Amino acid sequence: MSRKKAREAAFKLVYQTDINKDDINEQLELYFDENTTDDKSREYIRGVVSGIDQQKNQIDTELTQYLASAWKIDRISKVDLAILRLAYYEIKFVDDVPKGVAINEAVELAKIYSEEQSAKFINGILANID
């Protein structure tokens, strides 16, 4: 499984667990039982999904700094928020993902799964992260 496909799977799991308030470990095991993944992809997916779940409050606090003053994190669509959380986590905590790659992949996910203007919105937020 390519990193791009693993990232997309991670995004879907982050979104799903946020929407359904599912147990993250159960959802990871269910995903791995139903999908063929190599060890490297499994490690990446488990690492980012679990990491985002554990650090969600910190991630959201950090992301809030980059929103316009009238915006709150709960105004962001759940799809866009899942993409932002994933990209932020990659930028800050995944050593082998350069910031530019994380941003580009987030924009691509937004083009596929979100509204037309979301790609620009996501790019604008992520470009400001140190």
DSSP 8-state code for residue 17: H
pLDDT tens per residue, range 92-107: 999 999 999 999 999 9
Predicted local confidence at residue 73, as pLDDT: 86
Q: Would you kindly state where each structural domain of the chain is located, as residue ranges?
A: 3-127
pLDDT tens per residue, range 104-115: 999 999 999 999
Predicted local confidence at residue 12, as pLDDT: 96
Would you say 85 and 52 are in contact if contact means Cβ atoms under 8 Å apart?
A: yes
pLDDT tens per residue, range 40-76: 999 999 999 999 999 999 999 999 988 877 778 888 9
Dist CA 120 CA 125 (whole Å): 9
Pick from 94, 2, 37: which is nearest to 102 by CA?
94
pTM: 0.93
DSSP 8-state code for residue 70: T
pLDDT class of 34 with cuts at 50, 70, 90: very high
Dist CA 33 CA 68 (whole Å): 41
To which residue do tokens 């350069």 refer? 98
Classified as helix, coil or strand, 1 is: coil
Q: Dihedral through CA 89, CA 90, CA 94, CA 95, nearest 10?
A: -130
pLDDT for 130 beyond 90: no
For domain 3-127, the CATH class is mainly alpha
Pick from 91, 101, 96, 97: which is nearest to 129 by CA?
91
